Amino acid sequence: MDMPVSQPRRIVPVILAGGSGTRLWPISRTARPKQFLALLGEHSLFQQTLLRLKDDPRYGAPIVITNEDYRFLVAEQAHEIGIVPASIVLEPVARNTAPAIVAASLMAAQDGSDPLIHVLPSDHGIVVDKAYAQALDTAEAVAREGRLATFGIDPTEPATEFGYIEAGESLPSGGRRVARFVEKPDAEKAATMIAAGSHYWNSGMFLFTASAFLAECEKLAPEIFAAASAAVDKGRADLDFYRLEAASFAQAPSISVDYAIFENTDLAAVVPAAIQWTDLGSWNAVWKSGARDAADNLGVGKVTLNAASRSLVMSESHHVVLDGLDDVAVLASEDAVYVGRLSAAQSVGEVVKRLKADPQTRHFTEIHRTSYRPWGGYTSVLNGARFQVKRLFVKSGCRLSLQKHLHRSEHWVVVRGTAEVQVGESVRLLHENESIYIPRGEIHRLSNPGKIELEVVEVQTGDYLGEDDIIRIEDEFGRS
């Protein structure tokens, strides 16, 4: 049986997953930013985004656009929840949202079709309810008219941390024309807009047909269109990823899609909606989204609250006690603690700038003590002058690269599961409570042939212990 010709094609979601925000420091860091963290609940925000789409039959498989550094995080987190993206597109350099969305739209239309595209950030929280479904229906109708739809969130307070969209005349499809975009306002201006009505929070989500968006882009931002087109044409598939070609993509100016297209096109429309939406853009926003106790506290992890109120306490390692304070944010990662006023927690960004500027503290903004790799990962547990101790965890069936080090020797003790270890030409199995020594300069490889996770305590000794002392001879993840 042929498919009926009138069957609408499914919407292609384009998920923006390349951001590396700093406002949720110290839990969020450059190496594993907000969208990949399970801040609230079992799944990361990126996974929650994928699951929201999966459960809605109007969507096809998503295109995820991210950067080189996050490719394994994206692939694993999608895999973990059984989702196979249509494509994971890698930006060779960061160029803000406009070039990324143009490239992803070109890829969505590569088969000659003209799909509807829903662009959405990977780190927002949305409650899927009737208002949300209705907004999507309206946005779809608006987009089918050839317009570029934005989602305008009904403001619940005169927030100063969002841009606003002023809505103009109504459209037959149910949306409204965009009268103007307003930058993040001060408190007074925000209050005036709320009082005036017809002003909505700019959610950063868009819905349009590929043809309408790309035509506007070609007209209004031809250099972005040219750069993105060339980057897609000359790009190449690499394992699970699609790599945009670097030289071409680098030609694109670094600019947001709002500035480059939406503020200049006559086709912009806003779909006002009372969506329960949060950008989780500050610890205060996280606190508002969580399940708070009777004293309005949100405690996550090993936490004791004593006569505290309206506070957020989250700990990944230490046992944290908050005692007799109100409106305080305490965030404890494996190596750093932030204590500040919860209602002013957007100032975390300022602190991160200070820490980044100091070579002694920069690493606290960049990496966690636990690092994730395609095969599993490791936690740095002890650092001495000429030694360090790591806990390695290797997923069932995975193996690390065949590698050697010029400056360090390694002692491995298997503490859980079974390891297959190659040292030089010899290969042997190690079980729990067995150990092996890898002399400096010797090639070696660690694999987990077992059915359960392998855990190894690694003691490194040497005169230089940086992660960059690694020569990969062979690698399953394309890193050699």
Q: Which residues of this protein are in contact with a copy of itself, per CB under 8 A?
A: 26, 304, 306-307, 315, 318-325, 328, 330, 332, 335-341, 344, 347-348, 350-351, 354-355, 361, 364, 379, 381-382, 384-387, 389, 391, 409, 411, 413, 415-416, 432-433, 435, 437, 455, 457, 459, 461
Is it true that the peptide bond before 26 is cis, omega within 30 degrees of 0? yes
Rounded least distance, CB 85 to a copy of itself, Å = 34
Q: Residue 26 or residue 281: which is nearer to a copy of itself going by CB?
A: 26
Whichever of 124 and 390 has its CB closer to a copy of itself, that residue is: 390
Least separation in angstroms between CB 328 and a copy of itself: 7
Nearest Cα to Cα of residue 442 among 424, 457, 420: 424
Min dist CB 409 to a copy of itself, Å, is 5
Q: What's the N-to-C CA distance of the chain in angstroms? A: 48
Find where tokens 């506070």 sit: 311
Q: Which of 316, 344, 317 is nearest to 329 (CA)?
A: 344
Are the beta carbons of 430 and 413 closer than 8 angstroms? no
Please state the closest distance from residue 364 (CB atom) to a copy of itself, in A: 5
Nearer of residues 88 and 332 to a copy of itself, judged by Cβ: 332
Q: Give the span between the Cα atoms of 127 and 94, in whole angstroms.
A: 30
Please list the residues that pair with 409 across neighbouring strands. 461
Q: Which is nearer to a copy of itself, 238 or 432 (CB)?
A: 432
Q: How far is the CB of 151 from a copy of itself (least distance, A)?
A: 33
Of 253, 195, 275, 245, which is closest to residue 89 (Cα–Cα)?
245
Query: Least distance (Å) from a copy of itself to the CB of residue 370?
Result: 12
Shortest distance (Å) from residue 58 CB to a copy of itself: 44
CB of 381 to a copy of itself, least distance (A): 5
How far from 74 is each of 24, 68, 79, CA to CA, in Å?
Answer: 19, 10, 8
Minimum CB distance to a copy of itself smaller for 319 or for 472: 319
The least CB distance from residue 198 to a copy of itself, in Å, is: 35
* Distance in angstroms (rounded) separating the CA atoms of residues 103 and 93: 13
Whichever of 45 and 320 has its CB closer to a copy of itself, that residue is 320
Q: How far is the CB of 111 from a copy of itself (least distance, A)?
A: 50
Q: Which among 168, 151, 156, 159 is positioned nearest to 189, based on CA atoms?
A: 159
Tell me whether residue 259 or residue 387 sits nearer to a copy of itself (CB atom).
387
Q: For residues 206 and 257, is the Cβ–Cβ distance under 8 A?
A: yes
8 A C-beta contact, residue 411 and residue 435: yes
Please answer whether residues 456 and 446 qualify as being in contact, where contact means their C-beta atoms are separated by less than 8 angstroms: yes
Q: Crossing angle of helices 45-54/71-80, nearest 10°?
A: 50
H/E stretch holding 420: strand 419-423
Between CA 364 and CA 351 the distance in angstroms is 11
Token readout for 280 is 């989780």
In terms of CB distance, is 7 or 306 closer to a copy of itself? Answer: 306
Instruction: In whole angstroms, give the CA distance from residue 159 to residue 314.
Output: 24
In the complex with a copy of itself, which residue's Cβ is closer, 115 or 299?
A: 299
Torsion of CA 41, 43, 45, 47, to 10 degrees: -150
**CB nearer to a copy of itself: pick between 286 and 325:** 325
